[in-house]
Structure 1
Amino acid sequence: MAGVSLNKARTIVRKALAKGQELELKPLSVVVLDAGGHVQAFEREDGASPGRFDIARGKAYGAVMLGMSGSAQMARAEQQAYFMNAVNGVFGGAVIPVPGGVLLRDKKGDVIGAVGVTGDTSDNDAIAAMAGIEAAGLMGEA
């Protein structure tokens, strides 16, 4: 299984932040995780609160560990809160099931990681993540 390269991860971060600036979003934080849930790249814009790393990571971590986007996780949490509560317990409370956690796929459709963006509304976070993913020539599932 191919992974997300450091070069691609940096492109995702840079372009996601650029999209946030273009849309005049609040200061963003962006993390890229590999398929094992390990941090490949992270940046926090000036003015973003320090706790944003954990939020961005939680959004991405849930996506990669469950194989579903943050939007899908949120829908699942609304339908079956007990399931998402149990899953979050399994993962030590590290999952944040909201938009902005985007599953990262290569051109073949294989999961190679996830992107987590936080700082503005969850929907805007997802828009920024998708912009970074597309700029890196990869596919995202928001």
Structure 2
Amino acid sequence: MEVLLLKHASQMVDGALEHGRALECHPLTVAVLDPGGHLLALKREDDSGILRPDIATAKAWGALGMGAGGRDLARRAATAPAFFEALSAISGGRIAPVPGGVLVRDAAGHIIGAVGISGDHPDKDEACAVHAIESAGFTADCG
């Protein structure tokens, strides 16, 4: 199993922000977590809102905690809102089941981390995360 290192996380953050500029996104915040949910890297662009680091981290943390990308979690939350309300309570509000939380998988398919992005429409956040993960040589899993 590969390990997600700081150099990979830094590359992902920078790649996501660069892609965000190419897509003309609103200012983004990008968080990269290791498989245990610990923060490896975080960058907040100028003028990105004060809640964006918490939201980006919650998107990534929720994906890791449930083993599914934010897009899948959003679909599941729509069909099982009581379950996701319970998850929110259990996790102390650390889960954001929306697109923009993307699992990082190694070549063998193991989950080795997650990227969470907040700042623009969730679809654009997710596109930046996918681009960042794949440009770093890993597989992105949105769910």
Aligned residues: 142
Unaligned runs of 5+ in 2: none
**CA deviation string 1:4-60 (max 9, x = no partner):** 110110010000000000011000000000000000000001110121100000000
Residue 141 of structure 1 aligns with which residue?
141
8 Å CA contact 1:3, 1:35 repeated in 2: no
Residue 111 of structure 1 aligns with which residue?
111
Alignment of 1:41-60 (within 5 A): 41-60=41-60
Q: How far apart in 1 are the matches of 2:86 and 2:55? A: 19
| Cα drift, residue 3 of structure 1 | 2.6
Runs of 4+ in structure 1 over 2 Å off? none
Paired residue secondary structure (1:108): coil
Q: How far apart in 2 are the matches of 1:52 and 1:25? A: 14
| Cα drift, residue 2 of structure 1 | 3.6
1:34 aligns with 2:30: no
> TM-score, normalising length from structure 1?
0.98
Q: How far apart in 2 are the matches of 1:2 and 1:132? A: 17
Alignment of 1:41-120 (within 5 A): 41-120=41-120
Paired residue secondary structure (1:12): helix
Unaligned runs of 5+ in 1: none
